Structure 1
Amino acid sequence: MKNITRYLPFGLALIVCLTPYISSPTALVIGFLLASLGLVPADLNLAKFTKKLLAYSIVGLGFGIHFDQALAVTSDGIGLIIATIWGTLLIGWWVAKWMGLNKETGYLISSGTAICGGSAIAAVAPAIKADDEQIGLALATVFVLNSIALFIFPVIGHALNLDQHTFGTWAAIAIHDTSSVVGAASAYGEEALTTATTLKLARALWIIPIALFSAFLFRSDSKKITIPYFILFYCAAIAFSDLVPQFEVIYQGIFDIAKRALVICLFLIGCGISVEKLKSSGPKPLVFGVTLWALISTTSLAWLTLA
């Protein structure tokens, strides 16, 4: 009976996270609270299961990417997309090194800032062999900044009298997760929402080359490169859903399941971090995330309004 009881809080929390009412940030917080209260059974090997589920989730998300639409947007603003993605990664690498931040944690935060928040972190993490604590710190940092952006970006946009297209482009570049991009843009206007959603979709395609590049960058001392094979399946999912569009209803179902699976992943990752671990890591991850985000936000806004 005692054995069953000690699994009860974890099991109930897991069931709650399966419902559509729990978002990714909330799931991460629930897992974090369980870990901090000592309610996560120590005999559960969550790390191994989480990594596999992360890979499956990313593949499933590929069914929600419309390649032709994303490619069209990419071709319209290819220069800006490339400059902001690679610029963010390069600046992030240098700033993380200057601050003395853990290399993997800094790179995960940079990837989330450069592409699409939690999804990019989930895709890049296996490629660089990041552990649950590093993933958790990166996700927590990104989600905090997402919550802030959701409210302050529309205020800044109205204060600067940005037109709908400019605001939508800025939101897609400077806000991490797609959900927060959609939320901020929808509050600004219909054209801003369309622009932001489509451009963010195009940026999501860059998960593929960034994950492959990351595997090369973080190869072991033996010079062996660990290829993240799930990225190839992610590409296959995008291609298949685009070439055989008549099964759109099924693709949407897979996409929805993948999004829910990603929420479960974040819950499990949250179970691997606690107050003690956050204290030991110090304020560096959050300071790094804020610094990088502020830099990218201001420079991209300046480019869009002054160019």
Structure 2
Amino acid sequence: MTTHAAVAGSQAERHVAGAAAAERASAAEPQVSRPTRRSRALPGLALAIALAALATGLGHAAAIVGGPVFGIVLGAAAATFVPALRGARWAPGYDVAAKPVLQLSIVVLGTGLPLQQVLRLGGASLPVMLGTLTVALTGAWFFGRLLGVRGHTRTLIAVGTGICGASAIAATIPVIKAKQAQVAYAIGTIFTFNIAAVLLFPPIGHLLGMSPHSFGLWAGTAINDTSSVVAASIAYGGDAGSYGIVVKLTRTLMLIPIVIALAVLTARREARTAAAGRGEPVPALRLRSMPWRKILPLFLFGFLAAATADSLGLIPTGWHAPLSTLGTFLITTALAGIGLSMSFADMRRAGHRPLLLGALLWAAVALSSLGLQALTGTL
């Protein structure tokens, strides 16, 4: 018995000593692991920033394309022609660019949304704007089913066409957790029809005899990215440029309800999947019991707070241009990181159907904008 007790005592001592050593190791671990994680992100993030700088320069030279599109193209090209850039050493930095940097870009862009100006001049455009947004979303559902384009690709093309191009896609990515190939295809589709709109809208507007206000409303509700709205509206002449920009800013506010709705639908889908995996019935949807803190992304509140701060005059007028440039650069950095995580082969596998979906939605939104203007007497 004494021998057994001695052995047990010895084992207990070894167990206590081992536990103490483990505690000391775990206590020391955060001091090492945190800076290590940050340093692991530096190479990939630095590369994304460098490509974003190059893309921004190209975007200034070819404003019709814009820096963000160049960002994802350069990233995808680099990953395609230099396969080593898709290695584990670079991935943490790409992830930082595609998530925190992307979310920060949306907050910064909110500083360029003066709500009082939107309410004063954009109210008249609201019927046309809501109508075209409805056409874009319902058209994506209908044509998407018809063409066999489903899932996140369809959603991203819909919000990009219906709201504000790359910015809307950027705001939607973290909510629905889209894959890089889906993002790239959606942005490529939006980019294609941005160029088509800039080239075609002004001559069509003159052919129809549209006033500058009518054309600004058409451009602001039917062209995707802000840069393309500006390019087409200024090319048309008169005050179409300033009016088109205000309409476009008003349209950008539609991000808030759309992102919230997508967040709720995503949470509901995840709950249904989890319940099916456990063999349990799908829980009933109760808004009060929804995990709102997890559903509503923090950057959405930041976006609204930034717009409110600008409306209250808390952001000096001289800061608007630098902040707009910063926001666009952050989006370009994020898209470069996304591009670096994929290759053109990923896009080729998606086929031609998403591009056809984008074409149908683009035409439907452009025609419905003209039709709604005719019905409301603003054409």
TM-score, with length taken from structure 2: 0.74
Cα deviation 1:236-270 (Å, max 9, x = unaligned): 11112222446333454333211111111122222
Separation in 2 of the partners of 1:61 and 1:151?
26
Separation in 2 of the partners of 1:246 and 1:135?
32
> Does residue 198 of structure 1 match 2:246?
yes
Write the mapping of 1:87-98 to structure 2, written as runs, cut at 5 A: 87-98=135-146
Q: Identify the structure with the greater helix proportion.
A: 2
1:218: how far off?
2.2
Question: Is contact 1:96–1:106 with CA below 8 Å preserved after alignment?
Answer: yes
Counterpart amino acid of residue 28 in structure 1: I
Question: Is contact 1:47–1:132 with CA below 8 Å preserved after alignment?
Answer: no
Separation in 1 of the partners of 2:120 and 2:375?
25
1:58: how far off?
0.1
Cα deviation 1:201-249 (Å, max 9, x = unaligned): 1111111111111111222331666222210111011112222446333
Q: Which of 221, 234, 239 does residue 173 from structure 1 map onto? A: 221
* Counterpart position of 2:357: 288
Separation in 1 of the partners of 2:131 and 2:375?
16
* Counterpart position of 1:60: 108
- SS of residue in 2 equivalent to 1:162: coil
Q: Which moved more, 1:27-36 or 1:284-293?
A: 27-36
1:54: how far off?
0.8
* Counterpart position of 2:82: 38
* Counterpart position of 2:54: 16
- SS of residue in 1 equivalent to 2:270: coil
Question: Is contact 2:75–2:337 with CA below 8 Å preserved after alignment?
Answer: yes
Write the mapping of 1:130-141 to structure 2, written as runs, cut at 5 A: 130-141=178-189
> Does residue 235 of structure 1 match 2:283?
no
* Counterpart position of 2:261: 213
1:187: how far off?
0.6
Separation in 2 of the partners of 1:13 and 1:268?
9
Separation in 1 of the partners of 2:303 and 2:75?
27
Unpaired runs of at least 5, structure 2: 1-42, 61-65, 273-289
Question: Is contact 2:194–2:228 with CA below 8 Å preserved after alignment?
Answer: yes
* Counterpart position of 1:3: none
Separation in 1 of the partners of 2:320 and 2:215?
30
* Counterpart position of 2:119: 71
Separation in 1 of the partners of 2:332 and 2:132?
27
Unpaired runs of at least 5, structure 1: 1-5
* Counterpart position of 1:259: 328
Percent identity reads 30
- SS of residue in 2 equivalent to 1:117: helix
1:159: how far off?
2.0
1:274: how far off?
1.9
Question: Is contact 1:171–1:184 with CA below 8 Å preserved after alignment?
Answer: yes
* Counterpart position of 1:155: 203
1:10: how far off?
7.0
Q: Which moved more, 1:277-286 or 1:44-53?
A: 44-53
Separation in 2 of the partners of 1:217 and 1:246?
35
Counterpart amino acid of residue 47 in structure 1: D
Q: Which moved more, 1:120-129 or 1:212-221?
A: 212-221
Cα deviation 1:77-130 (Å, max 9, x = unaligned): 322222221331122122212221131111111001111111111111211111
Question: Is contact 1:154–1:185 with CA below 8 Å preserved after alignment?
Answer: yes
- SS of residue in 1 equivalent to 2:302: helix
Moved beyond 6 Å, runs of 4+: 6-11
Counterpart amino acid of residue 332 in structure 2: V
Question: Is contact 1:151–1:184 with CA below 8 Å preserved after alignment?
Answer: yes
Cα deviation 1:172-192 (Å, max 9, x = unaligned): 111110100110010101221
- SS of residue in 2 equivalent to 1:91: helix
Cα deviation 1:45-98 (Å, max 9, x = unaligned): 213431211100000001111110012233223222222213311221222122
Number of matched pairs: 302
- SS of residue in 2 equivalent to 1:77: helix
Separation in 2 of the partners of 1:188 and 1:18?
25
Separation in 2 of the partners of 1:165 and 1:88?
23
1:194: how far off?
1.9
Separation in 2 of the partners of 1:114 and 1:87?
8
- SS of residue in 2 equivalent to 1:116: helix
- SS of residue in 2 equivalent to 1:115: helix
Change (3 A) 1:9 1:200: closer
Q: Which moved more, 1:257-266 or 1:50-59?
A: 257-266
- SS of residue in 2 equivalent to 1:74: helix
